[in-house]
Amino acid sequence: MTKDYKRITTNVLQEMKDNKEKISMLTSYDFTLAKIVDNAGIDVILVGDSASNVMAGHETTLPITLDHMIYHAISVVKAASRALVVVDLPFGSYQGDSKKALRSSIRIMKESGAHAVKLEGGGEIIDSIERILTAGIPVMGHLGLLPQTAEKYSVQAKKSSDAVNLLEDAKILEKAGVFSIVFEMVTRDVAKIITESVKVPTIGIGSGINCDGQVLVVHDMLGMFEKIKPKFAKRYLNLSEEIRNAINSYVKDV
Provide the annotated active-site residues.
184
Instruction: Assess 204 for contact with ligand KIV (CB under 6 A).
Output: no
CB 212 within 8 A of CB 220: no
Shortest reach from residue 251's CB to ligand KIV, in Å: 33
Contacts with ligand KIV by CB under 6 A: the residue count is 11
Shortest reach from residue 46's CB to ligand KIV, in Å: 6
Instruction: Assess 27 for contact with ligand KIV (CB under 6 A).
Output: yes
Shortest reach from residue 92's CB to ligand KIV, in Å: 15
Instruction: Assess 222 for contact with ligand KIV (CB under 6 A).
Output: no
Which one of the spans 42-50, 65-73, 170-178, 230-238 is the region binding ligand KIV (CB under 6 A)? 42-50
Question: Cα–Cα distance between 140 and 200 in angstroms, integer?
Answer: 10
Q: Are strands 213-216 and 202-205 parallel, antiparallel or unpaired?
A: parallel
**Cβ distance to ligand KIV smaller for residue 118 or 164:** 118
Instruction: Assess 220 for contact with ligand KIV (CB under 6 A).
Output: no
> Among all residues, whose Cβ is closest to ligand KIV?
48
Cβ contacts of residue 82 below 8 Å, gap of 6+? 5, 6, 7, 8, 38, 41
